[in-house]
Structure 1
Amino acid sequence: MILPKKLTTLLATLVVMSVVDMFSCAAETPLSDVIRSAQTKVVKIFGAGGLKQLEAYQTGILISPSGHVLTARSYVLDTDDLAIVLDDGRSFKPEYLGSDPIRELALLKLPIEDESFPHFDLQNQATAQVGDRVLALSNLYGIATGDEPVSVLQGAITAIAPLDARRGAFATVYRDNVYVVDAYANNPGAAGGALVDWQGRLLGLLGKEVKSRVTGTWLNYALPTASFSSSVNELLAGHDTTWEPPSQLPEQSLTTERLGMRLVPDVLPITPPYLDAVRTGSPAEKAGLRADDLIVFVGGRQIASCRALLEELTYHDEREEIEVSLLRDGELVVVTLQAEGEHAEE
């Protein structure tokens, strides 16, 4: 359902007003100004989805004056029609620069070179303690579609603890500490939003919708800025724009069948490349691969989906030895794989 623009503006404004009215801010800058400033640094992202329980929207934050956007890595980004809408309503088609598979983050870039954008400074890191009051900014439920401000929720840090959660049948890869909040911050569309303190400083990035593996309840949490700032800086510094697929493929390419591994059903364009099974006696089993392993790199190249893995294997000769990096129980494991040739046992 698409809400009228005036109604969406009113809803977002009411959320902000309720936060301001409930508390008074002791800082010199009025809380309303702090919120408004933070909202200009948060963007709305629209992309793939639209199926049942697959929302086609999420949130991101500006992290550089030149228009770099940090968000959650998800199926929403897997489309040629990805759009980022700024606070002022302008819409741009971003460039996908890279991702962090452990923290499930993605880095995008606006196609603008002659403008300085308001942004959160990852180098000026703020931290919070249990009991600290916080604000969560995101495009909850896709309410904002144009120049409407993103929604704001107020709450407090209730715990700082390792993330022990699952998404469907799979455990989350990230296992380090997160900020747990008492606001319903991690609803549809919120992933990639900002958690800030009452001075507007970035505390963390709102995560995806997950359930606790201990209690089975939905979690409201954010990844602390300190947990991903180094990774994001590496993405900013190491973006490779020169790589192109080889012009000629080998006569016999590697395949998952030759390696003896079966992927989970590829139901979405960006289905994560988890292993569903490993064949007994296969090269994959001999290398130590197991069911539920998540493949993240092959031959030094990042793998974001089942389709990306299958495509990457076509670039490698069946006799070639390749290095595969995978995530298992939150740890990065590196193995070497080599098929046994065309007469390998099927």
Structure 2
Amino acid sequence: MLASASSHALLPAAMGNGDPMPSLAPMLKSVNPAVVNISTYTTRNVQQNPLLNDPFFRHFFNVPEQQMRPRQRRTQSAGSGVIIDAGAGTVLTNHHVIDGADEITVALEDGRSFKAELIGSDPDVDIAVLKIEAKNLSEVELADSDKLQVGDFVVAIGNPFGLGQTVTTGIVSALGRTGLGIEGYENFIQTDASINPGNSGGALVNLRGELVGVNTAILAPSGGNVGIGFAIPANMAMASIEQILTHGEVRRGQLGVIIQDLTSELAEAFDIKPGQRGAVVAEVQEDSAADKAGIKAGDVVVEVDGKAVLSSAQLRNAIGLRRVGDKVKLTLLRDGKEKTVKAT
């Protein structure tokens, strides 16, 4: 049964005790203007029939010369982005949203649209930074994504299927997802807030309206949302953004080791207590940062700067997101004893 406009006025605007109904609307009023729609335009050459490359075929069938000229096709795709610095017009999005684009347009919630300049990108993390020349912009405040917990409420905002700005809600269903083969460096926030094609680059915010992640990928056997989406943590994105804004590119540090997960079999072989997590150093490259720090094959890295290392992927992320020249403190297990080293 459809309610008439007059009947809507009879619906309660407050709970029984007089308190207002719970709503995300006040938070979204401040956040939505900072989430943008991104349109990209790409010109590609259309592949010709290989037979047209044969001079005899062209002569025999009297193929006109104009058919030999390369034809081009202009394609358009849509994604999302987030304004993180209103004064500078800095927009954060995914690298795959703008990859190969000849032209990038950013559209705001208020209807304005601007040509965007690509400042730089980090394909390994799937982050890109754009700049628009515009006044009266809004920005999203950044949260410390390391403080996220499974079960925290989150809101995804973006442009799914090119429909325009759309809001979905859910919770953080898992943290630290790796091994998906989506990006070079993976440490995804997993959420059941609906994320669909076109949401890429959009905002994942907490209930305070702070940016905790950048919506990036979905697990979708059917091609649409099935309740498992992935976002790049805000802290991980900012590690790349700061370098892009400073250098126009990411200058990624390396430790110089080959590593693998600490399995139960390896733990038993190294006489390490059951349940210990970490990354086993399989090989140390000569004259590398690890070599100079005194790290040896067989060492088990269990902490980086005081934060526990649970897997080889986590260690790779922790080191790979550091800048060239950064100093790190590594806690190792060697011959059953704990040892601390510092590497540059």
TM-score by length of 2: 0.52
Q: Secondary structure at the match of 1:37?
A: helix
The question of whether the paired residues in 2 share the 8 Å contact of 1:137 and 1:194 is answered with yes
Moved over 6 A (4+): 26-29, 329-332
Alignment equivalent of 1:235, drawn from 234, 238, 244: 244
Distance change >3 Å, CA 27–CA 190, structure 1 → 2: farther
Q: 1:58 to 1:218 in 2, by over 3 A?
A: same
- 2:157 maps to what in 1? 137
Give the equivalent residue in structure 2 for 1:256. none
CA offset at residue 209 of structure 1? 4.0
- Report the Cα distance in structure 1 between the residues aligned to 2:234 and 2:161, rounded to whole angstroms: 24
Q: Which residue of 2 aligns with 1:305?
A: none
**Which residue matches 2:192?**
182
Unaligned runs of at least 5 residues, structure 1? 1-19, 145-149, 241-328, 333-346
- Structure 1 segment 228-267 matched on structure 2, within 5 A: 228-239=237-248
**Contact 2:192-2:227 within 8 A present in 1 as well:** no
**1:227/1:211 Cα in 2 relative to 1: closer, same or farther (>3 Å)?**
farther
Please show how residues 195-214 of structure 1 align to structure 2 within 5 Å.
Answer: 195-209=204-218
Name 1:283's counterpart in structure 2: none
Give the direction of change, closer, same or farther, for the CA distance of 1:140–1:55 in structure 2 (3 Å limit).
Answer: farther
1:108 maps to 130
Give the residue type in structure 2 aligned to 1:85.
Answer: A
Assess, with a 3 A threshold, how the Cα gap between structure 1 residues 33 and 133 changes in structure 2: closer, same or farther. Answer: same
1:164 aligns with 2:174: no
Q: Which has the larger radius of gyration?
A: 2
Count of aligned residue pairs for this structure pair: 202
Superposed CA offset, 1:63-86 (max 9, x none): 102210000012645333321101
Q: CA RMSD in A?
A: 3.4
Determine if the alignment matches structure 1 residue 95 to structure 2 residue 117: yes
State which of 224, 234, 246 in structure 1 corresponds to 2:233. Answer: 224
Change (3 A) 1:98 1:193: same
The residue type paired with residue 189 of structure 1 is: G
Relative distance call for 1:172 and 1:219 in structure 2 (3 A) is farther
**Distance in 2 separating the partners of 1:231 and 1:28:** 40
The correspondence of residues 1-346 of structure 1 with structure 2, limited to 5 A, is 31-48=24-41, 56-65=77-86, 66-74=88-96, 76-112=98-134, 115-122=135-142, 124-126=143-145, 127-144=147-164, 150-166=165-181, 171-176=182-187, 178-185=188-195, 187-209=196-218, 219-239=228-248
Query: Is the partner of 2:198 in helix, strand or coil?
Result: coil
Answer yes or no: is the 8 Å Cα contact 1:56–1:76 preserved in 2. Answer: no
- The one-character-per-residue Cα deviations of 1:221-262 (angstroms, maximum 9, x if unpaired) are 11111112122112112238xxxxxxxxxxxxxxxxxxxxxx
Distance apart, 1:199 and its partner CA? 1.3
The structure richer in strand per residue is: 2
Conserved 8 A contact 2:141-2:209: no
- The unaligned stretches of length 5 or more in structure 2 are 1-12, 45-74, 250-315, 321-344
